[in-house]
Amino acid sequence: MGYEEELQSEREYVADLYARLDGERARVKAAYQSALGGTGGTAMERDNEVRARHREMKRLNVADYGLCFGRLDSVDGDRSYIGRIGLFDEENEFEPALLDWRAPAARPFYTATGATPEGMLRRRQFLTRRRTVAGFTDEVFGKLGEERGDVALLEALNAPRGAGMRDIVATIQSEQDAIIRLDHPGVLVIEGGPGTGKTVVALHRVAYLMYTQRERMERHGVLVVGPNPAFLDHIGRVLPSLGESDVVFSTVGSLLPGLLATAEDAPDVARIKGSRAMVDVLKAAVAARQRVPEEPIPIGMKDVVVQIGADVAEWARQEARDSGLPHNEARAVFREIVTYVLTERAIGRIGKGWMSRSDKQAWEDMRSGLVKDLADDESFIAALDFLWPIMTPFELLGSLYSSPEELAAAGADPSLLRAEGEPWTVSDVPLLDELHDLLGKDGTEQAVDQAATAERRAEARYAAEVLDSMVGRFDHMDDEDHLFASDMLFAEDLAERFEDHDQRTLAERALADRAWTYRHVVVDEAQELSEMDWRVLMRRCPGRSFTVVGDLAQRRAAAGATSWGQMLDPYVPGRWEYRSLTVNYRTPAEIMAVAAQVLAEFAPDVKAPDSVRANGVQPWSRQVTAEELPAAIEEFAKQEAEFEGTSVVIGPPGVPGTVPASETKGLEYDSVLVVAPERILAGGPRGAAELYVALTRATQRLGVLHHDPLPAALSGLTETVRT
């Protein structure tokens, strides 16, 4: 059969797959609508049915384009089509018409080579336009010198970039696939230089885990942490395009419900706040609020005055601390001890001469009255608020920052001092989160919990009363029928009254609940995270299942990682896996040659990733004056408007018309203009890393505008003169 006949045959097969997809979509939509209006079963069962159908609808909707992207032929004559989702033959439900790319049988599509064909004869890759197969390329394994064809890969790499990251499900390379399918339940570190695809590999690994561990993952979901909102927007469509939506995207600055921190501290302050030593500072700050009075505090009770002295407060404080409860919750222990001592002393004085301790009932009756009096006594409440105050994390940290005395008492660096009312920074969020654990729930939160508990108990009593009142109706039944009838009554008549049907998505519920824990966490640009950041993330994932993505050479944060063991060994010592990616799929060789010179300046021991392609376009530079700069940037924008794709102008902070390199980390653009590289280099100890990031954002074209002579590290640029 010739190429055209083969192409027509493949078009017909893929068209049939789309017909199956449309039929399945219609069936699921009808089931979803039926579930919405259904009346059978309990409310909980109907709710679960609606959620399941809705998830299935979303899974099918992502497959409109790129449904099938290839075919595998085995030496045994078997033929398998590989695609975005799995579809089954209508006549044989155990025979897939389309294999999900994550299925074990699909793996050779990504890993088979001429040297190791894995039992395969041929790999066929489709080039598609919407729902139509426009062409295909074949690799026949076993032929001398035969290598994997790169037509589909190069087409994807050379295509103009859109508004966000695309999935690579059709072009996953062998080294990437090995990481995606790695069977490691704990922490996996993926390190790679710019353009190696580490982020998209991590996201496809999440999709793979959610496919292979669906039941374990779907109830708690996955958390993806990125450096800034622009980055999260950039990667946000990848997992939905793979049919996975139970994912929460967040920056470190937005991990606390109700707080979105975007302000950055000065590097030295960020380094101090990010140190694990801040845990001891915060503990000391909390302990400093657990006071012993310098002078006894008088409390009036009936006709006597008793005192809270240092001895009483010290005893109560030690008991409260020994309880192991967080500060706010341990106040109940402190109060109980103080109340006991005060009432004992008051009764002894009030009943002196006429009440004997052996008269237990009289003693306890008087104690009960005194306890009630103390509960409303303003002087007693004021004393408790002074000796053991209820605090929120925001109140305590704000007070600590604004007081040189409190900072000194807690052993904190004096550079943390700042004026009251200043906005919270990204580095403050881990400290506030730590304080949530140290302080526990404040009065408002405790009241909400108590009200919820009381409501649940009232509902349970009501349910029990209803069931008891109905028992007589079933007296004529045998035990088995009686049990069945009672169960049906509770399930059908009472479940709708008492079950809490939360209609929010998993992401909405997780973002609103600080105590939410995830089954898996992805941390991107992980080299920027501080020791305190890692404490926050470890709390969010008790199972310690992480995919950690980063490049130590690109670190810019003063509190960031200098090694992966530094951050991970305190939590998973010796139990984390490391994998590296070495091929640059984003940056053309011409641009990477320039960036590699910069890398050699600040990280001579780090090898730049090898570019998989060259595009023949040489990066250029031009010297301009400050007056000429705005016109030169405008000229760049006009020239780029003639191309399809995206562009960006990167410069040092404060230069009009540019964005800092830090805001482009993890992003990619067809064309990049770097302004004043000499100022970026001089911008601090990590200036060279900033410039390295800026140079490696481009997928096609790179230009540089400079005021002073070019730094030696950029000597590979072709200098141009404005005509």
Q: Is 192 marked within a binding site?
A: yes
**Residue 196 annotated in ligand binding:** yes
Residue 489 is given by DSSP the state I
CA-to-CA separations, 437 to 133, 168, 287, 434, 532, in angstroms, rounded: 56, 40, 14, 5, 13
Question: Cα(559)–Cα(533) distance, rounded to whole angstroms?
Answer: 10
Crossing angle for the helix pair 531-540 and 267-274, to the nearest 10 degrees? 50
Contact, 281 vs 410, CB < 8 A?
yes
Give a three-class secondary structure readout of 569-618.
CCCCCCCEEEEEECEECCCCHHHHHHHHHHHHHHCCCCCCCEECCCCCCC
In degrees, to the nearest 5, what angle opens at C-alpha 103 toward C-alphas 97 and 104? Answer: 120
Does 302 carry a binding-site annotation?
Answer: no
Q: Among 165, 170, 113, which Cα is nearest to 144's?
A: 113
Contact of 12 with 133, CB cutoff 8 Å: no
Token pair, residue 604, equals 């001579």
198 carries a ligand binding annotation: yes
Q: Does the annotation place 441 within a ligand binding site?
A: no
Burial status of residue 585 (CB atoms within 10 A of its CB: 0-12, 13-18, 19 or more): buried
| Residue 195 assigned ligand-binding role | yes
d(CA 258, CA 288): 27
Instruction: Please give the single-letter amino acid code of residue 158.
Output: N
| CA gyration radius, the chain | 33
Query: For residues 544 and 542, what is the distance between their CA atoms, to the nearest angstrom?
Result: 5
Reported as type and span, the H/E element at residue 437 is helix 428-439
Q: How far is CA 557 from the centre of its chain?
A: 19
In the three-class reduction of DSSP (H, G, I as helix; E, B as strand; rest coil), residue 336 is classed as: helix
616 is in an annotated binding site: no
Buried b (16+ CB within 10 A) or exposed e, 269-306: bbbbbbbeebbebbbebbeebbeebeeebebebeeeeb
Give ∠ CA 512-518-522 in degrees, rounded to 5: 105
C-alpha–C-alpha distance, residues 3 and 14, integer Å: 16
Residues 6+ apart with CB under 8 A from 80: 71, 72, 74, 96, 99, 105, 106
Check whether 411 is labelled as a binding-site residue: no
Q: List, as residue ranges, the binding site.
A: 192-199
Q: List, as residue ranges, the binding site for ATP.
A: 192-199
